[in-house]
Chain A
Amino acid sequence: DGGITQSPKYLFRKEGQNVTLSCEQNLNHDAMYWYRQDPGQGLRLIYYSQIVNDFQKGDIAEGYSVSREKKESFPLTVTSAQKNPTAFYLCASKGFGSGANVLTFGAGSRLTVL
């Protein structure tokens, strides 16, 4: 079945460490997105990419980095510069065409800073 796979589901990080969250999709979607979700907050956009080798900053990009070397993959690195990284991270993708505005989400990765 087609879908989005995020890994790991749970991740613990010590202060000062960089960590990378994986996002892989087999939906043949062109666009991919990373959102952050905190309790009582809506989904906030970190980065998005509409084509391979191109990406744009979202509303809260500081302290994060991404790459888009393959259509299927859009990893997110949470750097030590991110001051409050403990959150639930959601990856999503979207195709183009009929009915293609719908975002499909992965199951999420929960990052906790110790």
Chain B
Amino acid sequence: EDQVTQSPEALRLQEGESSSLNCSYTVSGLRGLFWYRQDPGKGPEFLFTLYSAGEEKEKERLKATLTKKESFLHITAPKPEDSATYLCAVQPYQAGTALIFGKGTTLSVSS
């Protein structure tokens, strides 16, 4: 069964304290892995797509990486405005299959 597991469920950081979020996945064939950011009471906002092992993408303080079994979202020197829930999703290779989402990691950054 295809599934996505994110850890930790919640993460509290001090401003400037770098850390990583994990997304491990089991899928018969991976078409793509996606990271989204979701603020409370709002819809998820797209961050990154990764397609193959070894691929990396960066945006401001965020960097996403991908291996054959997991992805990491590295947050360097976070700021309070980075506080949000980060969602990971996989697109199985089978055509027409919808994204499978993990439960998310809720990040809180205090100043």
Residues of A that sit less than 8 Å from B by CB: 4, 6, 33, 35, 40-45, 48, 50, 58, 88, 90, 92, 99, 101-108, 110
- Closest approach, in angstroms, between the C-beta of B24 and any C-beta of chain A? 14
Using CB atoms, name the residue of chain B closest to A108. Answer: B43
Main secondary structure of the interface of A (DSSP, over half): strand
The answer to whether A48 touches B104 (Cβ under 8 A) is: no
Residues of B that sit less than 8 Å from A by CB: 4, 9, 31-32, 34, 36, 41-46, 49, 87, 89, 91, 96, 98-99, 101-104
The answer to whether B103 touches A58 (Cβ under 8 A) is: no
Q: Which residues of B contact A101 (CB under 8 A)?
A: 31-32, 34, 49, 91
* Interchain residue pairs A-B with the least CB separation, the first 7: A105-B43, A43-B101, A42-B101, A42-B103, A105-B44, A107-B43, A108-B43
The answer to whether B99 touches A103 (Cβ under 8 A) is: yes
| Total A-B Cβ pairs within 8 A | 52
The answer to whether B43 touches A90 (Cβ under 8 A) is: yes
The answer to whether A42 touches B102 (Cβ under 8 A) is: yes
The answer to whether B46 touches A42 (Cβ under 8 A) is: no
Q: Which residues of B contact A58 (CB under 8 A)?
A: 98
The answer to whether A106 touches B43 (Cβ under 8 A) is: yes
